[in-house]
Amino acid sequence: MDRQLIDRYEAGADLPARAIAGLTRDELLAHPIPGTWSVQEVVMHLMDSDLVGSDRMKRVIAEPGSTLLAYDETRWVNHLGYDRADPRTACEVFRLNRKMTAAILRGLPDEAFGRTGTHTERGVESLERLVHDYIDHLHHHLKFVREKRVTLGKPLAHYRLNARNGR
């Protein structure tokens, strides 16, 4: 187990807050690319997804073989009032959750990362795979936030949203 994986996971903690820096409420709620989520919806999804992700990781750690429930992200966006939520609070929840989960991961022996659970759609997943997936998930969605910011005329420098290079 490459322990730098945990550092990469934790390095993403501040990225959602950086991604929305300087945006007004109207800009957060805008749909500059028709048919896609707003920046705020992306940020709320990232928070919820990361909370689900740490739950999955904790289940695999404490209860190997657990069932890891899938969810319909679009239904969450459509039914959980993402447009009424405070995106800065969501970013702080995301940050704290990443920090707390990283601390748990650092306390584990290497062999714990081979423990598995069974995802209801994807099948058997190891703890190590889950950590990788949540690192990738964050960067996948931040790419869309960058595109939306450009369309809104509010681009951010790429380095500010890239935890992989340590900046």
pLDDT at 159 over 70: no
Q: What is the pLDDT of residues 54-79, one digit of tens each?
A: 999 999 999 999 999 999 999 999 99
Token pair for residue 26?
């109207």
Token pair for residue 161?
């949203």
Token pair for residue 102?
């990283």
Could you tell me the sign of the dihedral formed by the alpha carbons of 102, 14, 158, 41, in that order? positive
Q: What is the pLDDT of residues 113-138, one digit of tens each?
A: 999 999 999 999 999 999 999 999 99
Non-local (6+) Cβ contacts of 108 within 8 A are 61, 127
Burial status of residue 23 (CB atoms within 10 A of its CB: 0-12, 13-18, 19 or more): buried
List of domains in the chain: 4-165 (1.20.120.450)
Q: Is the pTM of this model over 0.75?
A: yes
Q: What is the pLDDT of residues 9-64, one digit of tens each?
A: 999 999 999 999 999 999 999 999 999 999 999 999 999 999 999 999 999 999 99
